[in-house]
Copies of this chain bind each other. A is one copy, B any other.
Amino acid sequence: MDTLIKLLREKNCKITPQRIAIYHALNDSKEHPNAEAIYKKLAPAYPTISLATVYKSLELFSELGLVQVINIGENSFRYDSNTTSHPHVVCNICQRVEDLDNEFFQHLSERVESLCDYKIKNQQLCFYGTCANCIV
């Protein structure tokens, strides 16, 4: 919450109602929304907000390490205010995206490094299937 305010202040970025609204919209959501979805969610309360501002704010948040960008193979990017490295599970039917928290997956990069000559910095793990609601 106030991580945002603190970090914006530290980095000499202006604290604007738009940035606060965009960050809160993302942080309050478990849906891993894309820019368009955040924009539509805010439109009723912020009728003059623009999609460009949403994009610009999300890019800033991403640079500040406040959000992570995820791509589940759609043609748009989704955002997650949980910036820890964690796998995502995607339902092929309802497109729901859920977080998976497990320390087990944190150590995969070590195994990757033992298999190739890369120095691994981060990872994106995405599992696709059918969620409990969509299994008939």
Residues of A participating in the B interface, judged by any CB pair closer than 8 Å: 69, 71-73, 75, 77, 87, 89, 91-92, 98, 100, 102, 104-105, 108-109, 111-112, 115-132, 135
Contact = CB atoms under 8 A, between A and B. Distances in A.
A129 B118 contact: yes
Nearest to A130: B119
Contacts of A98: 116
The residue among A92, A118, A126, A128 with the most chain B CB atoms within 10 A of its own CB is A118
B112 A135 contact: no
A123 B127 contact: yes
Contact residues of A: prevailing secondary structure: mixed
B127 A112 contact: yes
B118 A131 contact: yes
A111 B103 CA distance: 12
A135 to B, nearest CB: 6
A120 B126 CA distance: 10
Contacts of A108: 105, 125, 127
Nearest to A112: B127
Contact of A112 (B87, B115, B120): B87
B122 A111 contact: no
Given A102-B111, A104-B111, A108-B125, 19 more contacts: A69-B73, A71-B72, A73-B77, A87-B112, A91-B118, A98-B116, A100-B112, A100-B116, A109-B127, A112-B127, A119-B129, A119-B130, A120-B128, A121-B130, A122-B129, A123-B128, A124-B125, A125-B125, A126-B126
